[in-house]
Amino acid sequence: MRRIIITIDGHSSTGKSTVAKQLAAELGYIYVDSGAMYRSVTLYTKENGLMVDHVLDKDGLLQALPEIKINFQWENGVNKTLLNHRDVSELIRSMEISEAVSKVATLPEVRAKMVDIQRSFGAKGGVVMDGRDIGSVVFPMAELKIFMTASAQVRAQRRHAELLASGQQVSFDAVLDNLQSRDTVDSQRSVSPLIVPEGAIVIDNSEMNSHDQFNMILQLAKDRIYGRV
Ligand code: DC
């Protein structure tokens, strides 16, 4: 049976990672959260004095880039993000990192390094990867490309609920603001902007439940795995 590459791009907080994880588990594929990689680099800058008061020391980061090792560990269905061999899965989800990550993700040198790592994960197929440029830049030849979107209000509600559930006290407006500014930066940056990749299937899930969405994408994947498309 052929092991395909599935890319899931789209706006922030559209549930890309949830569906990507479920899909990978169902198909026995690996799941790669490319956003976690940009978040990890951002955490590195914060922890190493390369981002102070929202100002990024770009030269310092570029110099440190070879020292930054990012990996994933898949264990009992849990996907851990490792920054220089340390589990940073929780730390990279904070609002502080969300607010700073766009500065790091716009640097072409950082993107080039992340893209190399991402391609190495997909070298043998059998991968589901989510992000912003996976279908357009990382794997333009992927067998199945999905682009997910939803209204900003719906996305902010979902993200706000997640943050509250994890014990982070933030206002709905702060979440909505952060999400809209990330949308703008992601879509307008000159390197690898967020676009609908050529050949991608667009899913607006503002009013779709996650069960129906999962079944729909699984069917699309099976059609390609079994050569029906
Ligand atoms: O998917 P996420 O929200 O965890 O991603 C965090 C940030 O990283 C997001 O604001 C945009 C950036 N990103 C990117 O530029 N390219 C990717 N392939 C994935 C994420």
* Beta carbon of 200 within 6 Å of any ligand 1 atom: no
Average pLDDT score over the chain: 95
Of all protein residues, whose CA lies closest to atom 16 belonging to ligand 1? 132
Q: Which atom of ligand 1 is nearest to the CA of 114?
A: 18
* Beta carbon of 182 within 6 Å of any ligand 1 atom: yes
What pLDDT shows up at residue 113? 98
What pLDDT shows up at residue 79? 87
Residue in 101, 149, 177 to alter for ligand 1 test, most ligand atoms within 8 A of Cβ: 101
Distance (angstroms) between ligand 1 centre and the Cα of 1 equals 31
- Averaged over 94-99, what is the pLDDT? 91
What pLDDT shows up at residue 209? 92
- Pairing status of strand 127-131 against strand 201-204: unpaired
What pLDDT shows up at residue 38? 98
Distance (angstroms) between ligand 1 centre and the Cα of 183 equals 10
- Tabulate helix, strand, coil % of the chain (nearest 5): 50, 20, 30
* Beta carbon of 139 within 6 Å of any ligand 1 atom: no
Query: Among 149, 119, 142, which Cα is nearest to 221's?
Result: 142
Q: How many CB atoms lie within 10 A of CB 130?
A: 28
23-39 tens-digit pLDDT: 999 999 999 999 999 99
Residue 155's pLDDT band, with cuts at 50, 70 and 90, is: very high
What pLDDT shows up at residue 74? 83
DSSP characters over 67-127 = G--EEEEEETTEEEEEETTEE-TTGGGSHHHHHHHHHHHT-HHHHHHHHHHHHHHTTTS-E
* Beta carbon of 138 within 6 Å of any ligand 1 atom: no
* Beta carbon of 186 within 6 Å of any ligand 1 atom: yes
Query: Among 105, 102, 104, which Cα is nearest to 178's?
Result: 102
> What is the strand order of the sheet 70-75 is part of?
70-75, 78-83, 86-87
What pLDDT shows up at residue 91? 96
Distance (angstroms) between ligand 1 centre and the Cα of 49 equals 22
Length of the chain: 229
102-154 tens-digit pLDDT: 999 999 999 999 999 999 999 999 999 999 999 999 999 999 999 999 999 99
Task: Report helix angle 95-105 to 172-188, nearest 10.
Answer: 10
Q: The tokens of 205 are what?
A: 């899930």
